[in-house]
């Protein structure tokens, strides 16, 4: 591991020198390429250098234990040695985690799909609140969002919303959100004050590129056109602009009618279809490679209850890692980093265990 880290540090220094070269700085394409490599190497190198400094301090503490003549001074050195041994062990674990193979999808943008599940109107209202929560989180991260599908209800809720989220390492942060989100609260329409439980499903799909998913539109697709309609069947427009695409090999069906243009609706529907097909492809690969890993985090199993939002107690609990926070109000405002950081740490620890077993 140390040889690999030394090689990465040397590469990091070479990239830094290249970025300072006027010829590279004047070429935006080359500079972006090196800047990306630099940003990927920087956290690993910083941790490796911290490890090196800590090892030097440990050597000095051990030397003091051997050489000190005063017993009280020797005891202080032993205490320092103990602290540094623990720090070295922690840094080694962190370095191992940083050297784990990266998820190839981590840099991708995502399609976020939110659908109301069991619970009637209350489920649609919570689906709208989750949509708002993720929008707020995207704003905090500086990500861009584009609504592809939005099926609203008359009470201010949504039956389904699909959003494209674009930005820096979106999938790496959002991939843990797939699953069933359960809400417990007293609905405004409940006269007796009883707590109801409703559910919303969330799917986070890495956005697929054309080269990743091959679709023969002539053979693989059936494209139907029909008139768009709004809530309750109310006509939105009288042209045949809505699109329903059926992927014949898989049976997947995607409908898009938000745009007045048939071509725009088709383009949006194709983006959703490609991402869903890519998601299926990735899941098949994960099943074949590591079924145990899928059972821990991020399997995306739509029947898996991953989190509960309890409004009367201002509590949110993530059941995969046993994390409970009593600040649901701030979470619903998009303050998700503490939850997502804990999930990422847990996931890395499980992968490290697998690496050791292998």
CATH number of the domain to which 12 belongs: 1.20.58
The residue from 71, 98, 125 where one domain ends is: 98
What domain range is 228 assigned to? 217-284
320 has pLDDT over 50:
yes
| Strands of the sheet with 221-226, listed across from one edge | 221-226, 242-247, 252-256
Residues 340 and 205 in one domain: yes
| pLDDT of amino acid 33 | 85
Residues 90 and 133 in one domain: no
Mean pLDDT for the stretch of residues 270-285? 83
CA-to-CA separations, 92 to 12, 13, 47, 61, 343, in angstroms, rounded: 20, 22, 9, 19, 20
| pLDDT of amino acid 300 | 35
pLDDT above 90 covers what percent of the chain? 34
| pLDDT of amino acid 68 | 78
Q: How far apart are CA 61 and CA 123, in angstroms?
A: 60
Number of folded domains in the chain?
3
Is residue 119 situated within a structural domain? yes
| pLDDT of amino acid 294 | 40
| pLDDT of amino acid 302 | 39
pLDDT above 70 covers what percent of the chain? 87
The beta-carbon contacts of 192-198 under 8 Å, at least 24 apart in sequence, are 195/312, 196/119, 196/122, 197/119, 198/117, 198/118, 198/119, 198/120, 198/122, 198/123, 198/126
Q: How confident is the model at residue 278 (pLDDT cuts 50, 70, 90)?
A: confident
Higher pLDDT, 290 or 94: 94
**Whether 346 contacts 334, CB under 8 Å:** no
Mean pLDDT for the stretch of residues 310-324? 95
Residues 116 and 199 in one domain: yes
112 has pLDDT over 90:
yes
What are residue 248's phi and psi, to 5 degrees? -60, -40
Both tokens assigned to 175 = 């991939």
The residue from 72, 98, 124 where one domain ends is: 98
**Whether 262 contacts 240, CB under 8 Å:** yes
245 has pLDDT over 70:
yes
Q: Write the pLDDT tens digit of every residue in 292-306.
A: 334 433 433 334 689
- The chain-wide mean pLDDT, for the chain, equals 84
Residues 226 and 152 in one domain: no
Q: Write the pLDDT tens digit of every residue in 200-241.
A: 999 998 887 655 677 888 888 898 888 866 544 444 445 678
pTM score, two decimals? Answer: 0.64
Residues 205 and 339 in one domain: yes
**Whether 223 contacts 266, CB under 8 Å:** yes
Higher pLDDT, 162 or 238: 162
Higher pLDDT, 108 or 99: 108
Out of 27-31, 96-100, 166-170, the most confident range is: 166-170
Q: How far apart are CA 115 and CA 161, in angstroms?
A: 7
Q: Write the pLDDT tens digit of every residue in 48-73.
A: 899 999 999 999 989 888 887 888 88
Q: How far apart are CA 115 and CA 34, in angstroms?
A: 41
Residues 194 and 228 in one domain: no
| pLDDT of amino acid 295 | 41
Residues 166 and 313 in one domain: yes
Q: Which residue has the tokens 């409940």?
A: 190
Is residue 81 situated within a structural domain? yes
Is residue 293 situated within a structural domain? no
Mean pLDDT for the stretch of residues 111-130? 92
In this structure, the strands spanning 221-226 and 242-247 are antiparallel
| pLDDT of amino acid 40 | 81
Is residue 205 situated within a structural domain? yes
DSSP conformation class of 318: E
Higher pLDDT, 174 or 73: 174
DSSP conformation class of 107: T
Higher pLDDT, 141 or 249: 141
| pLDDT of amino acid 83 | 92
Residues 157 and 197 in one domain: yes
């Amino acid at each position: 591991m140390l040889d690999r880290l030394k090689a990465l540090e040397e590469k990091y220094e070479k990239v830094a020198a290249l970025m300072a070269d006027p010829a590279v700085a004047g070429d935006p394409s080359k500079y972006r390429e090196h800047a990306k490599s630099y940003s990927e190497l920087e956290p690993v190198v910083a941790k490796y250098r911290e490890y090196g400094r800590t090892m030097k301090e440990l050597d000095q503490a051990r030397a003091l234990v051997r050489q000190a003549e005063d017993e009280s001074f020797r005891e202080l050195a032993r205490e320092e040695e103990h602290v540094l041994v623990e720090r070295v062990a922690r840094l080694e674990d962190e370095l191992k985690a940083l050297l784990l193979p990266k998820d190839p999808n981590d840099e991708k943008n995502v399609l976020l799909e939110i659908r109301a599940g069991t619970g009637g109107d209350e489920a649609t209202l919570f689906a709208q609140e989750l949509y708002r929560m993720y929008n707020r989180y995207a704003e905090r991260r500086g990500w861009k969002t584009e609504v592809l599908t939005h099926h609203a209800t008359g009470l201010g809720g949504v039956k389904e919303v699909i959003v494209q989220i674009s930005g820096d390492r979106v999938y790496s942060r959002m991939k843990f959100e797939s699953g069933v989100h359960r809400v417990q609260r007293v609905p405004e329409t409940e006269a007796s004050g009883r707590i109801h439980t409703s559910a919303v499903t969330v799917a986070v799909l890495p956005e697929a590129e054309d080269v990743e998913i091959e679709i023969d539109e002539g053979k693989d697709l059936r494209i139907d056109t029909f008139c768009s309609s709004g809530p309750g069947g109310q006509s939105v427009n009288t042209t045949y602009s809505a699109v329903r695409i059926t992927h014949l090999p898989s049976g997947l069906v995607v409908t898009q009618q938000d745009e007045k243009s048939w071509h725009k609706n088709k383009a949006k529907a194709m983006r959703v279809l490609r991402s869903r097909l890519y998601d299926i492809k990735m899941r098949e690969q994960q099943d074949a490679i590591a079924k145990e890993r899928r059972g821990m985090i991020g399997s995306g199993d739509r029947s898996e209850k991953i989190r509960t939002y309890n409004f009367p107690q201002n509590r949110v609990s993530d059941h995969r890692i046993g994390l409970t926070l009593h600040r649901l109000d701030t979470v619903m405002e998009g303050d998700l980093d503490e939850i997502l950081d804990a999930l990422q740490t847990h996931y890395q620890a499980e992968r490290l265990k697998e690496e050791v077993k292998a």
